[in-house]
Structure 1
Amino acid sequence: MRKLIYGMNLTLDGYVAAPGDDIGWSGPPSDELFQWWLDREQESALWLYGRKLWETMSSYWPTGDEQPDATPAEMAFARNWRDTPKVVFSSTIDKVDWNARLVTGDAVAEITRLKAEDGGAMGIGGATLAGAAMRAGLIDEYQLVTYPVLVGGGTPFFTALDSWVNLNLVETRTLPNGVILTRYETRR
């Protein structure tokens, strides 16, 4: 059975995007944080994306390694992003590319099916998609990269739940600029 990991940058008050889908509060990541995200990308055998995050990622990373100011880590990230299989969940787009396939039907059923397969860990990104997986009890690990900023509203990292989810802290680390990394595994 595959492990499903949900991780994103978020504000101290718990939002992955401020109103208007604004993510400008996160600014460019430190080299240490970018390397951490690169390591996570390289450890994932499959990525699951909601539409908004897919549109953000696919607007830059297919050619991110060709940018004149790309760092070696950014070049590695772009190559890995292109090479890693991806599943995009959306009912409003009709085509995806860059080693991705589109699922327009029941996301929870498809994620459940993918988890049951043999293979490496899966990353899930996009708060709406991850929220559906969270409510279904499918998330095995949460990776929170918390920035010291309050935005007062927007898209929350966590969704409303029907019952508690007990977690075990597996890592905490302070990164440059006051960013705090915490990882939790779901207690089963």
Structure 2
Amino acid sequence: MRTVTFGMNISIDGYCDHTIFNPSEDLHDYFTAMMDDVDLLFFGRVMYQLMFPYWADVAKNQSGTEDQNRFAQRLTSIDKVVVSRSLNSAGENTRIVRENPAEELLKLKQQPGKKILIDSVSLLPELIAAGLIDEFRLVVHPVIVGRGRLLLNVGSLQENLNLKLVDTQIFKSGCVAHHYLKQ
């Protein structure tokens, strides 16, 4: 069975608004390397629209820095699933799922392949409740923002999810990557 990884950038106070973070070269390299073991990305609509077409354009035009271009190339080359009831179309190598995201993820998890990387705050409580996430990779940025989307809203989980810290990595920027496994 495939491993499902939830990956997210967050502020010290638990907010996940990607528009407030300014990833460094080593952070782009971290996420690019993480995707070496991934052959499917599973997005909610909001995160998908934040990431695309921006990164697809960077990959096509090689318009970013060297580390951004590598990240964009890797990100766009991986097959994607986006969960949305409102999207009419999606980009290259992307399939839209209209309903039952947990059921769809379970089917994908049971297929052969590399890891599945999830990047969706809105789907997180449902996927945790379904027991589908095996590991968490949270990159904490050294900023307190006090606004935006929280990683989890109060009351969104019915019970605690105990995790085991297996690795940390500190970046020059002060960001800290935490790698947790579900216990």
Instruction: Give deviations 1:10-59, integer Å, cap 9, x for gaps.
Output: 01111102xxxxx34312x1111110011112221100000011111112
- 1:15 aligns with 15
Unaligned runs of 5+ in 2: none
| Residue range with higher mean Cα deviation, 46-55 or 57-66 | 57-66
The answer to whether 1:25 aligns with 2:26 is no
Aligned residue type for 1:88:
V
* Structure 1 residue corresponding to 2:149, chosen from 155, 169, 175: 155
Q: TM-score, normalised by structure 2?
A: 0.92
Partner Cα separation in structure 1 for residue 112 and residue 60 of structure 2: 34
Aligned residue type for 2:10:
L
Partner Cα separation in structure 2 for residue 92 and residue 30 of structure 1: 33
- 1:177 aligns with 173
Is contact 2:121–2:151 with CA below 8 Å preserved after alignment?
A: yes
Partner Cα separation in structure 2 for residue 108 and residue 66 of structure 1: 32
* Structure 2 residue corresponding to 1:135, chosen from 125, 129, 137: 129
The answer to whether 1:2 aligns with 2:2 is yes
Is contact 1:65–1:78 with CA below 8 Å preserved after alignment?
A: yes
Secondary structure at the counterpart of residue 45 of structure 1? strand
Partner Cα separation in structure 1 for residue 125 and residue 157 of structure 2: 9
Partner Cα separation in structure 2 for residue 172 and residue 109 of structure 1: 32
- 1:20 aligns with none
- 2:182 aligns with 186
* Deviation at residue 133 of structure 1 after TM alignment: 0.9
Q: TM-score, normalised by structure 1?
A: 0.89
Partner Cα separation in structure 1 for residue 140 and residue 175 of structure 2: 6
Q: Kindly tell me: are residues 151 and 89 of structure 1, through their superposed partners in 2, closer, same or farther at Cα, counting changes over 3 Å?
A: same
Aligned residue type for 1:26:
F
Aligned residues: 181
Partner Cα separation in structure 1 for residue 61 and residue 177 of structure 2: 28
Partner Cα separation in structure 2 for residue 171 and residue 67 of structure 1: 35
Is contact 1:25–1:149 with CA below 8 Å preserved after alignment?
A: no
* Deviation at residue 68 of structure 1 after TM alignment: 6.2
Aligned residue type for 2:21:
S
Aligned residue type for 2:161:
V
